[in-house]
Structure 1
Amino acid sequence: MTIKIGLKCTECGDINYTTTKNSKTNTEKFEAKKYCPRLKKHTVHKEVKLKS
């Protein structure tokens, strides 16, 4: 079962990226270090649910 997720910046709170993940095989929250255009630097982005 593939679901859409958003990646939210932990520092500014913007959802800058969207992706998909398999909720059956990946049960833990996704976290990655990505570029935040508002802060103009790389920050940690965490998974949030998107409205479908």
Structure 2
Amino acid sequence: MGTRSELEYHLVRPELVAEFLADTAVDEGVYRHPVRFLRLRDDLTLQQVPPFGT
């Protein structure tokens, strides 16, 4: 269920690179499986990661 109240958010500055596992299977506009955190990638810098969607 949704809410109509104002949501609180906090802007962040990315400083760490994390690896996630995601399945692209979608049913009726909803992802079938949750995204799973795998590990922090201390072998990568932010500059080495391509922008999302490229």
Greater helix proportion: 2
Q: Using CA pairs under 8 Å that are at least 6 residues apart, name the structure with larger relative contact order, 1 or 2.
A: 1
Which of structures 1 and 2 has the bigger CA Rg? 2
Greater strand proportion: 1
Which interval holds the TM-score relative to the shorter structure? under 0.3
TM-score between both structures, scaled by the size of structure 1: 0.25
